[in-house]
């Protein structure tokens, strides 16, 4: 009986050891042959000790630790995706040990595969998994740069010019995904753009974190706009920023961006109908954010007071969508002006009607003279 | 007996300008209203249609304005004489004309102003047209040209104070032109008959009850 019990304990211990070893090897990247992906789940430090230095692994295999560390992928660690590499790496097994995005992003993969874009590019064609940010952390301009890798800007402009009024302006102010996916919940993201010093005719570029930090000094770059430091930008603070002579080289560029990005890339007929965006009225366009570049390449969004883009002049002086961001006060002034033009016809016309007998009588007298 | 005197008030280029301008401005007002208030108005079928029509009408008005300006500047050289009020106009003429419109008219008195080809507008008209043709129309046209070309003319848009300022200015100027349009059309009906001032803008000839011969713009009598 004792022997049977001992055997059972030994077998159980052996099974537990084997299960534990297998789990650790699959999920965490255990040690093989003297090389380690990292001691525990989510650690990529050992990988980055080589791959974080371009001189060690070459430009192609270099992973920028600052950019990577910010990604969600960093939280699960290199081995979670690169599980095909065995313990002989780097001396033995080479290559990427290809990751399959579907392990985690199955629903997005299915949506993307069903879209008209699915056959044309893999996930990696657009996304760099070592730099990827969440939708709210990426600038609208950067998403367009992804598209521009394959879609020649001149060709895209020519195609849109055929049917879209102000095509150049639309493409400048919108990320492609706003129209070419079934994304929902649009907001206005306001980016700080900067003119190069001394170059009056230089196109405005997105201001970098370093450029803004230089202006802000030792303070947080948000303090350039959010003066009271409450992590919220009021319309008054926006006005002050836009009027501040010290920031003459800076402007705010607004872009209408989907809050929930979809991967259902397609050409949507309702986007060809301008009223999809332009006829939804001012009430729908009141949510906006200041998007500030961070050192790690992501963008930090800070909420702006509702209705900022509807401000008549200085809230967002360079952002206006016809029909959608019109100002109510200007509407009232305009109505008063038009009504003023009716005063003469209505008032004078009424007196003219009342005096018609007198005028007719006088006319007859004049003709008899 | 009074003999009808016919005065050639409006030369052909001016009449072409006027009706192109009228058609253009009405189109601009209506299409502009749809562009600004698309959730309430759908007059031209689609928003895109309204934008394209607004662009075309804007170009027509800008070109017809150029026709008007160059004709008067380099043709009969009467731009200043016709459109700029004299000191006498401002001192007494405007008041006299206003007194007529708002008082004497209702008692059947004749209009104190008798148009001639070189002085065809009364002092009130001169002052109004000066503001319209030398301030309102150029400003609304320039702001419209900038708004049609925001990307290529970005530097000018910024120099003008930004997109919002331009849009606001364009809208308020357009409202002012619309207001003027109502007053203008109404005032044209204050002649001897409701169409007495409208027909000459089509034919060029205006009838004036006065003894004498028919007069052409050059002063030549026929």
Asked if B164 is an interface residue toward chain A (Cβ–Cβ < 8 A), one would say yes
Provide CB contacts within 8 A for B214, sequence distance 6+: B5, B6, B7, B8, B221, B222
Q: Which candidate from A313, A358, A359 shows the least CB-CB separation from B164?
A: A313
Q: Which of A200-214, B12-26, B208-222 has the highest mean pLDDT?
A: B12-26
pLDDT at B114: 83
Is residue B213's pLDDT more than 50?
no
Q: Measure CA A82 to chain center.
A: 28
For A67-113, the pLDDT digits (tens) are: 888 888 888 888 888 877 777 777 766 665 667 888 888 888 888 88
Average pLDDT over residues A316-345: 92
Average pLDDT over residues B182-204: 89
- Backbone dihedral region for residue B173 (phi beyond 0: left; psi -120 to 50: alpha; all else: beta): alpha
B120 burial type by CB count under 10 A (0-12 exposed, 13-18 middle, 19+ buried): buried
pLDDT confidence tier of residue A122, bands split at 50, 70 and 90: confident
pLDDT at A335: 96
pLDDT at A274: 86
pLDDT at B214: 42
Is residue B219's pLDDT more than 70?
no
Q: Which candidate from B39, B171, B183 shows the least CB-CB separation from A330?
A: B171
For A123-171, the pLDDT digits (tens) are: 888 888 888 877 778 888 888 888 888 888 888 888 899 889 988 889 8
pLDDT at A367: 66
**Radius of gyration in angstroms for the set of CA atoms belonging to chain A, rounded to a whole number:** 32
Please tell me whether residue A54 adopts helix, strand or coil conformation. helix
Is residue B75's pLDDT more than 80?
no
Is residue A45's pLDDT more than 50?
yes
Report chain A residues whose CB lies below 8 A from the CB of B157.
318
Q: Which helix (H) or strand (E) holds A237?
A: helix A235-243
Report chain A residues whose CB lies below 8 A from the CB of B109.
362
Phi, psi of B177 (to 5 degrees): -65, -40
pLDDT at A36: 37
Average pLDDT over residues A214-220: 91
pLDDT at A202: 63
Both structure tokens of A316: 């967002």
Both structure tokens of B119: 């002085």
Mutate to test the interface with B, among A163, A173, A255, A274 (most CBs of B within 10 A): A274
* Biggest CA-to-CA distance, chain A: 147
Model ipTM value: 0.88
Give the single-character DSSP code of A205: E
Average pLDDT over residues A246-253: 88
Give the single-character DSSP code of A363: H
Percent of chain A with pLDDT over 70: 83
For B129-184, the pLDDT digits (tens) are: 999 999 999 999 999 999 999 988 988 998 888 899 999 999 999 999 999 999 99
pLDDT at B29: 95
Inter-chain touch B106–A330, beta carbons under 8 Å:
no
Inter-chain touch A319–B164, beta carbons under 8 Å:
yes
Q: Which of A273-282, B8-17, B22-31, B83-92 has the highest mean pLDDT?
A: B22-31
pLDDT at B181: 94
Stretch 57-96 of chain B: residues touching chain A, C-beta under 8 Å: none
CA atoms within 13 A on the CB side of A170: 22
A258-286 burial, b if ≥16 CB within 10 A, otherwise e? Answer: beebbbbbeeeeebeebeebbbbebeebb
Both structure tokens of B150: 């925001």
Average pLDDT over residues A163-190: 87
Stretch 102-121 of chain B: residues touching chain A, C-beta under 8 Å: 102, 105-110
Is residue B126's pLDDT more than 80?
yes
Among chain B residues, CA nearest to A201: B155
For A3-42, the pLDDT digits (tens) are: 555 665 565 555 544 444 444 434 333 333 333 333 333 4
Percent of chain A with pLDDT over 90: 22
Report chain B residues whose CB lies below 8 A from the CB of A349.
186
Task: Report the alpha-carbon distance of residue A56 to residue A54 in Å, rounded.
Answer: 5
Of residues B120 and A165, more confidence is placed in A165
What 3 state SS string does B172-206 have?
Answer: HHHHHHHHHHHHHHHHHCCCCCCCCCCHHHHHCEE
Please tell me whether residue A255 adopts helix, strand or coil conformation. strand
Percent of chain B with pLDDT over 90: 42
Task: Report the alpha-carbon distance of residue A120 to residue A149 in Å, rounded.
Answer: 12
């Amino acid at each position: 009986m004792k022997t049977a019990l001992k055997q059972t304990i030994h077998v159980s211990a052996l099974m537990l050891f084997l299960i534990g070893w297998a789990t650790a090897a699959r999920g965490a990247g255990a040690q093989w042959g003297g090389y380690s992906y990292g001691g525990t789940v989510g650690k990529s430090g050992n990988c980055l000790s080589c791959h974080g230095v371009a001189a060690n692994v070459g430009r192609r295999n270099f992973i920028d630790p600052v950019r990577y560390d910010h990604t969600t992928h960093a939280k699960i660690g290199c081995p979670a995706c690169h599980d095909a590499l065995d313990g002989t790496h780097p001396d033995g097994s080479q290559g990427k040990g290809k990751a399959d995005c579907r392990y985690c992003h199955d629903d997005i993969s299915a949506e993307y595969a069903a879209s008209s874009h699915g056959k044309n590019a893999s996930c990696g064609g657009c996304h760099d998994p070592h730099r990827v940010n969440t939708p709210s952390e990426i600038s609208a301009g950067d998403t367009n740069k992804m598209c521009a890798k394959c879609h020649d800007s001149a060709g895209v402009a020519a195609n849109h010019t055929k049917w879209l009024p102000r095509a150049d302006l639309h493409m400048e102010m919108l990320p492609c995904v706003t129209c070419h996916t079934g994304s929902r919940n649009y907001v206005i993201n306001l980016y700080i753009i900067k003119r190069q010093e001394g170059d009056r005719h230089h196109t405005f570029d997105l201001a970098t974190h370093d450029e803004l930090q230089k202006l802000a000094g030792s303070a947080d770059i948000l303090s350039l706009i959010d003066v009271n430091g409450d992590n919220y930008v009021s319309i008054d603070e926006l006005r002050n920023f836009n009027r501040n002579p010290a920031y003459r080289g800076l402007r705010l560029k607004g872009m209408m961006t989907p809050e929930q990005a979809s991967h259902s890339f397609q050409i949507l007929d309702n986007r060809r109908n301008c009223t999809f965006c332009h006829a939804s009225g001012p009430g729908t366009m009141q949510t906006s954010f200041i998007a500030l570049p961070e050192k790690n390449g992501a963008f930090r969004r800070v909420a702006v007071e509702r209705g900022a883009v509807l401000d008549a002049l200085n809230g967002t002086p360079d952002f206006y969508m016809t029909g959608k961001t019109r100002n109510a006060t200007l509407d009232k002034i305009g109505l008063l002006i038009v009504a003023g033009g009716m005063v003469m016809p209505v008032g004078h016309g009424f007196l003219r009607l009342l005096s018609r007998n007198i005028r007719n009588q006088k006319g007859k007298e004049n003709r008899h003279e | 007996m009074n003999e009808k005197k016919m005065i050639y008030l409006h030369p052909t280029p001016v009449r072409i300008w006027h009706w192109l301008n009228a058609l253009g401005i009405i189109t601009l007002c209506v299409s502009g209203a749809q562009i600004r208030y698309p959730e309430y108005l759908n007059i031209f079928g689609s928003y895109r249609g309204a934008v394209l029509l607004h662009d075309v009408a804007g170009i027509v008005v800008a070109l017809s304005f150029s026709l008007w300006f160059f004709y008067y500047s380099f043709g009969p050289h009467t731009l200043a004489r016709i459109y700029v009020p004299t000191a006498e106009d401002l001192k007494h003429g405007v008041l006299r004309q206003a007194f007529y419109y708002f008082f004497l008219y209702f008692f059947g008195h004749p209009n104190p102003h008798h148009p001639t080809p070189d002085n065809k507008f009364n002092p009130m008209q001169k002052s109004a047209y000066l503001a319209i043709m030398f301030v309102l129309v150029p400003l609304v046209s320039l702001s419209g040209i900038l708004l049609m070309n925001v990307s290529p003319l970005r530097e000018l848009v910024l120099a003008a104070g930004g997109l919002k300022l331009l849009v606001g200015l364009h809208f308020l100027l357009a409202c002012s032109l619309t207001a003027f349009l109502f007053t203008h059309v109404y005032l044209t009906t204050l002649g001897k008959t409701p169409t007495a001032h409208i027909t000459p803008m089509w034919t060029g000839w205006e009838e004036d009850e006065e003894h004498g011969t028919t007069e052409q713009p050059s002063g030549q009598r026929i």
